[in-house]
Amino acid sequence: MEDQVTAYANFKQYSIRYDLERNTFSYWYTPRGLVLEDAKVAKVVIAGKVITLNDYSTAASSMFQQDDATVLSVTYENGPAPIKEFDIRFLVSDTGITCFFVCPGDSDVYVDGQLCWGGDMEHETFAVNLNRPGQDLRCAHGPASSVIDNALFDRRTDSAIEIDGCTTTRITYDWDKSAYRFTLHTMGDYSTTGFRARVYERVIEDKFNVIYKPINPHTTFQDPPVGWMTWYSVQFDASEDTVLENARWQAKNLKDYGANTIWVDWEWYHGDFTGQQKPDTDSFHPDTSKYPKGLKYLASQIKKLGFVPAIWVGATNDPTENEFIQAHPETVLVHKPQWCGQYFMDLTHPLYLEQFIPQFFKQIMDWGYEALKWDCLPTTIQLCDMYHDRFYNPNLSTEQAMLGAVSAARNVVGPNFYMLYCCGLSDRDFNIAAAGFDGARIGGDIFKWEDFISYCIAKVMKLYALHNVVFLNDPDNVVLRPKFNTYDQALSRLNFVSLLGLPITLGDNLPELPEDRVELLRRGIPSLTTHPMDLRKTAHDYTVVKVNLAVNKPYEQWNIVDVFNLLDKDIETTVDIYDDLHLPLDEGPYLVYDYWNKEYIGAIARRFTVQLRPFASRVFAVRRKLEHPQVLSTSRHISQGAYDITSLTWDAAKNTLSGISKVVAGDPYDILLYVPDPYMVFVEGNATLSTNLKNIGKNLWMFHLEPSATGEEAWSVAFTPVPPH
C-alpha cells in the first residue's frame, strides 16, 4: 500500500482535505465549493523556541465517526523538544469545521491561509464582524479590514464565512493575488485550543427580516448621487427659473467637485399640502404656471449643464382626476384627500398595472429623466390596509400589491434606472425598498437639528448594515444654511453623511448659501463608495458618535475618523487606537492629523484626547508611521487622499515620493507630507518646486499646487537620507 499523502473527512455540507506532504489543509462547503485554501500551521512558539511542521519526521492521519460529526486527526511525531509530538484535530459537523491544536505547555500556534469567498473579492466581498457590540459606526472604502473583523460577507449571495474561537484573527486583502488572506494566533496553556470556520446563509435577510436582493452596481449612479433638490431649498416656490438658477450655480461652483444631479421634487404638480390641485395639473401634466416650457425642456437643460435630471413621482395617487381616472374610475381604490393627493389607485387592478404604470413611467423616460424618487408609498400602504377589501384582488396582501406595482414600473424603466424609495419611517417600508429600489429614504424630512438627530443619525445607526448592500441609505438631505445650523452643526451634518458614503442631497437655495457653507460642500463631496463593516443593528446614546472609515488602496491602508458631539455642551473624549479604531498596536505608532483645524496631533501609540464644542465634530486622518516620507493629509476632500489620490509610489532607489491626484481648476491643492528622520527634502532635486514646497514644522512639509485645469495631475518630491553623525 502506498504511503498516505492526503487525508479527507466530510460531514454533510462541510469537508476537509489535509495534504500531508505540504502540511496544508483546505475546506469545502458544498453550496459554495472551496472556501478555505492552503491553510497551514506556520509556526509554534513555546518557551521562546520556534518550531515548524517541517521539524517533524513523520506524520499520519486517522479518522473516526461520531453521531454528530466526523473527526480527522493528523499527528506529527519525532519532533524537537519540548514538543516532540504535535496533534491537529478537525471536527467536521453541520455547524462548521473546528480545528484543534493539541500540544503541551504555554504555546502559541500561528496559522495562515487564504479565504475563498465570493467572486469579485475587491468589490463584492467585505471583511466584517457579524455580532460586535459597541456604538461606533464602521465603514470601508475598498477591501479594508481591522483587527476585529473575523468574517467575509458576500454581498451577491447574502452569506458569510466566519472564523472564531482563537485569540487573534486578522483578515487582510492581498492586492497581488486579488484575494483575502487570514492569519490567526492561539495560545495553548496545556490545553486543546483552536478555531472554527462556519458559513452563515441569509445574513442580512435574517437579521433585518427583509426580502434580500443585492444592490445593483450598474445603475444611473456608479457612486452615491450628489446634487440639489427643490423641496428643501425653496419648497412651493420651485419653478423652472429656480431650478435652472440653482443648476447653473451648481455647474459653476460644485460640478468639478463631484455634484452630478438635479432633483425636481413634488412641487411640479403640487402647490400645497391639501392633496387637491387645480384642474389639468396631475401626474401627467406639470403646473404650467411654474413650468411653462414643460419638464422635457427642463430635463434637457439640466443635461446640457452636465447633470443627471431626477424627478419626484407619486405613481399610486393623484391630486386631480387625470385622464386615466376619468376613463377608468374603477381603478380608484379610495377617494380620500391626503397631503400628497386624493385619488388612490387600486394597486391590484389589471388596468392600473398594465396601462397606468407603463404610461406614467414611459412618460418620465420620454421627458428625459434618468432617476426618480417614488414618494407617497407609506401613505398608500396605510390606505391599502384600511380599504383592503376593495382591492380588485383582495387575496393579495398589501405588500404583495405594492411589490407588484413596483415590479411593473421596473419592467418599464429597466434594471439600471435609479429608483429611490421615499420614505422609510417604518421597518415595513424597507422590505419593499430592498426588493425593488436602488436607494431608500430611511427617515422623514430633515430641516431642524432635531430632525437630523432622529431621522438621520438614529436611523443610520439602526440600518447602516443595509447600505450599499441591498440599497443606498438615503438620509434625506444635507441642509447647511444658518436658519437651521450653527457652523459647527453644518460641519457635523456634512462630515457624518459624507464619511459614511451616503447620498448627498443639497437642501439649500445655493446662490444664497454663505461662502463658508459652500466651502464645506467643496470638501465633503462626493461621498465615497463605502460599505458597512458591522452587520448589525445598533442605537446611539445621544452623547458621542464615532464614525470610523477604513480606507484600503493598493498603496496604503489608513483610517478617517469623525468624532461627533451630540450634546449641547463642551465635552472631552478620547480616541483609542485599538478600542475605537481597531488598529493593531504593534504596527504603530500612528500619525494623526486634524483635517478641519489643520493641526498635526502627533505620532500616537495608543490614544489621543479630543475637545469638542456643542454639536461639533472633528475629522482625523490616522496613518501608520512608515520608515520613509509619506502623505499625512491632503486638502481636496475630508477623506484626505482616499478620493483624490489615484496612485502613490515610494521609490526607495531614488528616494522619491510620486503620485497622481484629482484636482479642480482654481482650487489650491495641498499635500501635507511627513518626512521622518533621517530623511530631508532634497532641495536640489526639487528645484522646480522650490516655491511650492515649504517646511511647516518638525518633520512636516507642505507641497502646494495651483491647478489650471480640472482632472488628474502628477506630482513628485525627492528626498535624501541624512547620514548619522
Low-confidence winner among 210-214, 262-266, 304-308, 721-725 (lowest mean pLDDT): 721-725
Residue type, 75: T
Q: What is the 3-class SS of 232-267, one letter each residue?
A: HHHHHHCCHHHHHHHHHHHHHHCHHHCCCEEEECHH
Tens of pLDDT along 439-451?
A: 999 988 999 999 9
Residue type, 676: P
Supply the mean pLDDT for the chain: 94
Q: Are strands 371-374 and 531-532 parallel, antiparallel or unpaired?
A: unpaired
Q: Rounded to 5 degrees, what angle do the CA atoms 641, 628, 578 make?
A: 65
Confidence at residue 118, expressed as pLDDT on a 0 to 100 scale: 85
Residue 276 pLDDT greater than 60, yes or no = yes
Confidence at residue 10, expressed as pLDDT on a 0 to 100 scale: 97
Confidence at residue 724, expressed as pLDDT on a 0 to 100 scale: 56
625 φ/ψ angles, rounded to the nearest 5 degrees = -70, 125
Residue 167 pLDDT greater than 80, yes or no = no
The pLDDT of 666-677, averaged and rounded, is: 96
Tens of pLDDT along 54-112?
A: 999 999 999 999 999 999 999 999 999 888 899 999 999 999 999 998 876 678 899 99
Distance CA 480, CA 330 (A): 46
Confidence at residue 46, expressed as pLDDT on a 0 to 100 scale: 84
To which residue does cell 541624512 refer? 722
Q: Name the E strands within 448-522.
A: 472-474, 504-506
Tens of pLDDT along 683-720?
A: 766 665 656 899 999 999 999 999 999 999 999 999 98
- 643 touches 528 (CB < 8 A): yes
Confidence at residue 527, expressed as pLDDT on a 0 to 100 scale: 95
Confidence at residue 120, expressed as pLDDT on a 0 to 100 scale: 85
Confidence at residue 1, expressed as pLDDT on a 0 to 100 scale: 35
CB atoms within 10 A of CB 67: 4
Residue 188 pLDDT greater than 70, yes or no = no
Confidence at residue 122, expressed as pLDDT on a 0 to 100 scale: 87
- 255 touches 227 (CB < 8 A): no
To which residue does cell 459606526 refer? 137
Distance CA 393, CA 425 (A): 27
Cis peptide before 678 (omega within 30 of 0): yes
The separation between CA 325 and the C-alpha centre of its own chain, rounded to angstroms, equals 43
Q: Which three cell numbers stand for residue 650?
A: 515610494
Confidence at residue 689, expressed as pLDDT on a 0 to 100 scale: 60
Q: What is the DSSP letter of 354?
A: I
- 192 touches 165 (CB < 8 A): no
Distance CA 247, CA 253 (A): 10
The pLDDT of 134-153, averaged and rounded, is: 95
The pLDDT of 466-477, averaged and rounded, is: 95
Distance CA 373, CA 53 (A): 61
Q: What is the pTM of this model?
A: 0.95
Distance CA 702, CA 299 (A): 44
Max intra-chain CA distance, the chain:
94
The pLDDT of 622-630, averaged and rounded, is: 97
Q: Which three cell numbers stand for residue 705?
A: 499646487
- By percentage, how much of the chain surpasses pLDDT 90? 86
- 544 touches 566 (CB < 8 A): yes
Distance CA 95, CA 111 (A): 21
Residue 556 pLDDT greater than 60, yes or no = yes
Q: Name the E strands within 422-542.
A: 439-441, 472-474, 504-506, 531-532
Edge-to-edge strand list for the sheet holding 159-164? 58-65, 69-77, 86-93, 96-102, 192-200, 159-164, 151-154, 125-128
Confidence at residue 359, expressed as pLDDT on a 0 to 100 scale: 98
Q: Rounded to 5 degrees, what angle do the CA atoms 140, 144, 145 make?
A: 105
Instruction: Classify residue 62 by burial, with Cβ atoms within 10 Å: 0-12, 13-18, 19+.
Output: exposed
Confidence at residue 452, expressed as pLDDT on a 0 to 100 scale: 96
Nearest to 123 by CA among 97, 101, 153: 153
CA dist 48 to 45, 105, 427, 513, Å? 6, 11, 55, 65
The three-class DSSP label of residue 352 is: helix
The separation between CA 510 and the C-alpha centre of its own chain, rounded to angstroms, equals 27
Which one is predicted more confidently, 502 or 135?
502
CA dist 590 to 222, 245, 327, 606, 609, Å? 33, 46, 70, 8, 14
Instruction: Classify residue 691 by burial, with Cβ atoms within 10 Å: 0-12, 13-18, 19+.
Output: exposed
Residue 425 pLDDT greater than 80, yes or no = no
Distance CA 128, CA 354 (A): 43
Confidence at residue 725, expressed as pLDDT on a 0 to 100 scale: 54
Using 50, 70 and 90 to split pLDDT, how confident is the model at 189? low
Low-confidence winner among 409-413, 444-448, 486-490 (lowest mean pLDDT): 444-448
The separation between CA 661 and the C-alpha centre of its own chain, rounded to angstroms, equals 22
Q: Which three cell numbers stand for residue 362?
A: 414611459
Confidence at residue 133, expressed as pLDDT on a 0 to 100 scale: 86
